[in-house]
Structure formats: C-alpha cells, structure tokens
Structure 1
Amino acid sequence: MPDRKTPVRRDIGRYINDTLRDRYFAAGDALLAKGAPIRSETDVETSFGTTHVYRYGPDDPAAESRTPIVLIHGSGSSSAMWYPNTPALSADRPVYTFDTPGDPGRSVHREPMWQPERAAQWMDETFEALGLDRVHLVGSSYGGWLVINQVHRRPGRLASVTALDPGGLEKVGLRFFAWIFVSLFATFAPRKLRPRLAAWLEQPVISDDELRTWIQKGVRAFRIRRPAPLPLTDAELGSIRTPFYLIMGKRSLLVHPERQLERVPRLVPGARAEILAATGHGPQIDHPSLVNARMLSFMEEADSFRPGPGPVPGPTVARNGREA
C-alpha cells in the first residue's frame, strides 16, 4: 500500500521543510552569538507542545538569587530577537527566554494555544516545569499580549510585567499589517537604499544584514496558524494589581501611543507608561541601553512591592524618554 502522509493541521504552526528550518536556525544562532553567553538550553513539555528555553546568568553569585526575568518574543520571531538585551539584563539577575510554540524557533507546536486561557495555561505550565515561582515577565508585540493576558488571568507567579509596544491593548489594525508587509518587501531592496528605508519605516531590521537575513529565512521557513489576538477590555485591564510597565514607540503603528499613555495608568493602579522618541515598534532594539536600564530600575522597585490592602505605587507617565 502507498504511504499516507499525516494530514497537515491548519491550526498548528509548522516549518515548510527541514532544510529551510535549519537555515533559519543557523541565522538565529548568529544573532544569539551576539548576545550574552547562553548558560543552558532545555526543552519543557506542556499540554500544547515542547517549549525550548534558553537560560542566561550573572557572573556575580549573589545576583543568581535575585528574581529572574522571563522574556517573551513577538510574532514570527524567536528568542534570538533578544540579543541586544540579554547582556545587560543577565548581568543583573538570571534571565530566561522562551521560544513560543506556534512561532519559528526550536519549540514544537502540537495543540492550538492562541485562546487567552490556553495561552495563560501554557506559560504557567512552563514556569512550573522550570521551578519558577516568581518572575519579572517581559513581552514584545505579540509577546506583549501574552504577558498582559498572563497578568490578567494568572498573576500568582509574577513580580512585575513589562509590555514593549504590545498587542492586547487595541485591535490590530490594517496600518500595522501594511507596515509589516512593506517592511518585509523593503528587506529585499538594494543595499544603498536600506538605511533610508529603515529610517523612514522605523524598522532597524532592514539595515542590519544579520537581522534581515534571519527575518527573511523565518518568513520562508515557517507558517504561523493563529488569528490576531483580541484586546483586553477596560475591565480586564482594571483587574491588574501587579506592578506594570508599558513602553511604546512614538511612531508605533500597533497602538496609538498617546491614547494608551492616558488609558493604561488610569485603568491599572500604579502602572508606569512611557513613550520613547525615535522609534516605532521596536524600542528594545532601537534603544537597548535605555530600555534595559529602565526595565532593571522598574524591576528593582517592584522587588520591594508586595500586593496587599495598602495603596499601590503611584503612576508614572513619560513622553519621549523624559518624564512629563
């Protein structure tokens, strides 16, 4: 009898073939090599697939005991995107990065987890398997939706949450998808044009050869199978009591920064919100030193905070990198 291929599921992210996957892995490894040294890698089994986890650590033994950071990447990406951030963050405390199942990376996706409760369950199971009882959670773009969803649904393990130009605050609009399409097209432009296009689109990927190669190979190699996430309601955001930090790019096309600068601190008690100039959707890539320092300062403050009946810290609102 002829061999029967396993039917391709339409709700599971997948690689097109092993050759394209391996080329993408090689491009990602080149980026990872630019970040902090990886202390260990591990695969964690969850109800939704296998999650690949990287661990980074400080050289100072005393810093090893500090509350760790967990970084969640954006859609169509993997842990390699954090290479500008891991050196500074892991010098201060342990750092973990998760390859989200359903995105290109070394995780293996087996069951859909785009639904809010399933996404929160996946993250909680990963924390549990790693023995992480208390973490500072950071997410970018789609990873921003994942961390906001987590702090709303399962905040018990979270010391703080930082959302970098995140999903989850507004419905993803046509302007964002158009920017993604134009940015991808621009990665194929002649070398001389790329710096100009990168500045115009606020897209550093275009002018960085290693980032550009990595993104192109990921688009060719992997198919994402999930809808765009729905935003949290005002009531859902208002339920958050964990220290919360929102950083947005002034030229973001995913959110309306001024709108969220007013809205989030009004809804989330004690939330800190900030708009950074000279950036769009990637503040942690465009301004890594600034963003790393701001996040570490926020986490230091959050480490001394414990939720209870007393007042939460007051809100902080800033524009263009300067306190308003």
Structure 2
Amino acid sequence: MVFKSRAERSHYISAYNKSLALWKIPYSEEDVKTSFGTAHVILSGPKDAPALVLLHGMNASSTMWFPNIEALSKNRRVYAIDFLTEPGKSVSMGKTLSKEEIVLWYNEIFKHYKLNNFEIIGASAGAWYGVLLAIQDDSKIKKLVLLGPAQTFENIDERGKSTPAILMKFFPSKKKWDKTLENFSTDPKKIPMVFKRQSYLAYKTKIGSNFWKMQPFSNDELKKINIPVLVLTGDKDIINSESGHKKAKETLSNYKGEVIPNAGHFLTIDQKEIVNKKIIAFLGK
C-alpha cells in the first residue's frame, strides 16, 4: 500500500535500520497483530516505569525520536509506534483507515500492552493523532504533549510555506528535498545524514490518503480534553503560528504552551536539549 515495489521497501527498511542505530540506548522491536495489519513498536526504558507512547510525524517513522529517546526513556517505559499507512515497519492490510478505524487500531495496540492511564507525545501529524485519541469518551490518556502540531488547531498551508514539502511527495528531487529541510529546520546540518536518507526515501513513496483527511479540530471537540496538554512550537515553524496557540489556550481547559526560540518544525532536532527538558518537566516523575 505504501511502497511501489518490494525493492523500494527493502531500500527503505535498510535506511530505517541505519537511522535506528542513532538510538544510543537499549531497545527492542516488536510486531503486534491487529485487525488492520501489523503494528511495529519500538520499546525502551524500564519495564516497570509509567507508560509513554510516541507518535511520530508524517513520513518520519519512529526513528525520528533519536534526539529525545535517551531522555524520555530514563523514567518511562516508551512505546514508539510506526503509523500503519506510512513508510515504516508497520504493515497495512491495504485498507485506508477512517478516523474511527485509526482510534480502533491504536486501542488494539494499547490493549495488547495493557496500557492504562498513560501519556502520549505526538509530533506534527502524530500530534493530530494524539488529539484524536484524547477526544474519545473512553480515552485513557492522562497527559498529552503536542510538538509542532500539524492540521490540529489551524490549517497548515494558509501561508503557502509548506507547499514545497507537499510537492516533494508528487515530484521528488534532491533539490526539492534540500529546500524542504531548509524550510523545516533552522539548522539542517544538525540532521544526521542517515536520517536524511531515510526521510528522502519516505517522501518518494506514495502519499497517504490519511493526509487529506486531517482537518483542524473544532472548538467543541477540543473542549472535550480536560487532561494537561503541553503545546510546543518553534518560532520559525512554517506549520504553526500564534493563532494556533491562541485557539489551544481558548479551548483546552488545562493548556500550557511555549514557543521555542531558534527552532523550526523539526524542533526536536533544532533545540533537542530545551525540548527534552520542557517535556520531562511537564510529565514529571
């Protein structure tokens, strides 16, 4: 469903594994069978620690957490999940998921690991999925961190600055990819070459139909969320603006938000130390 050929998938998985070598801590990988396909989960941290679920950004896969995973795994049992219909190690049965099915899919994974009263960190598109899960009546999420949330509080392309990244999916080229990195990061040189390679291969795959279904949540939907929510965006983020924070503050009853200086949409890389400290302080012990 995601890859155009077996060879394309093989090249991508090889790049994925090289990026995963950036995780400088012990981890394990597991496949969880669900009604919609096989979910790939990377686990790290103490087995008896509180549970923390990581939802990656679009086309990034769980390997994107390499700048943060050591800090996040210190006092948490971390479950990093590859989204089913995007490049990664999760394998879809070939069906496009509705919003309701996305919730069911994640809940099957949570049930498999017996997760109850847990935390979620979502980046970009992963933040949108985190909010989708948090507005459910039976949500078991106790804290939510949204990093550069995409299509969550406002439409991302109102200013037209994200267009190069979208065009990259339809007409991939090295020139467009370099421009995309410049738009998303304040210092692309900080991004390891192996992760750049994996991300480039991801952008060359088919564009997921779930992207077109992602629309900003309504005020009524957001007001359902009563748990503590931390929203972090970069001051150079082309996806988010002050109006997004304004909407979050007006609709989330337990909102905390900050704009990180000298950080773009890839704030977890651009300012990893600052982002890690703010997340850990918010989650607590």
Q: What is the TM-score with the length of structure 2 in the denominator?
A: 0.88
Structure 2 equivalent of residue 252 of structure 1: 237
Name stretches of at least 5 consecutive residues in structure 2 with no aligned partner.
none
- After the TM superposition, which residues 216-255 of structure 1 pair with which residues of structure 2 at under 5 Å, given as runs? 216-226=200-210, 227-255=212-240
Residues 183 and 224 (structure 1 numbering): CA distance in 2 closer, same or farther, change over 3 Å? closer
Give the distance between the partners of 1:96 and 1:16, measured in 2 at CA.
28
- The question of whether the paired residues in 2 share the 8 Å contact of 1:265 and 1:271 is answered with yes
Pick aligned residue for 1:21 from 4, 9, 34: 9
Residues 135 and 116 (structure 1 numbering): CA distance in 2 closer, same or farther, change over 3 Å? same
- After the TM superposition, which residues 1-324 of structure 1 pair with which residues of structure 2 at under 5 Å, given as runs? 13-58=1-46, 64-110=47-93, 111-113=95-97, 115-154=98-137, 156-167=139-150, 168-173=152-157, 175-181=160-166, 188-189=174-175, 202=185, 204=187, 208-226=192-210, 227-256=212-241, 258-300=242-284
- The question of whether the paired residues in 2 share the 8 Å contact of 1:70 and 1:138 is answered with yes
Highest Rg: 1 or 2? 1
- The question of whether the paired residues in 2 share the 8 Å contact of 1:35 and 1:85 is answered with no
Count residues in correspondence: 278
Residues 24-49 of structure 1 deviation map (CA, whole Å, 9 limit, x = unaligned):
11111122111143432211122221
The RMSD of aligned alpha carbons is 2.6
1:155 positional shift: 5.4
Residues 165 and 270 (structure 1 numbering): CA distance in 2 closer, same or farther, change over 3 Å? same
- The question of whether the paired residues in 2 share the 8 Å contact of 1:40 and 1:56 is answered with yes
1:152 positional shift: 0.7
Structure 2 equivalent of residue 4 of structure 1: none
- Range with greater deviation from structure 2 (287-296 or 197-206): 197-206
Give the distance between the partners of 1:117 and 1:204, measured in 2 at CA.
38
Name stretches of at least 5 consecutive residues in structure 1 with no aligned partner.
1-12, 59-63, 304-324
1:200 positional shift: 6.2
- The question of whether the paired residues in 1 share the 8 Å contact of 2:41 and 2:79 is answered with yes
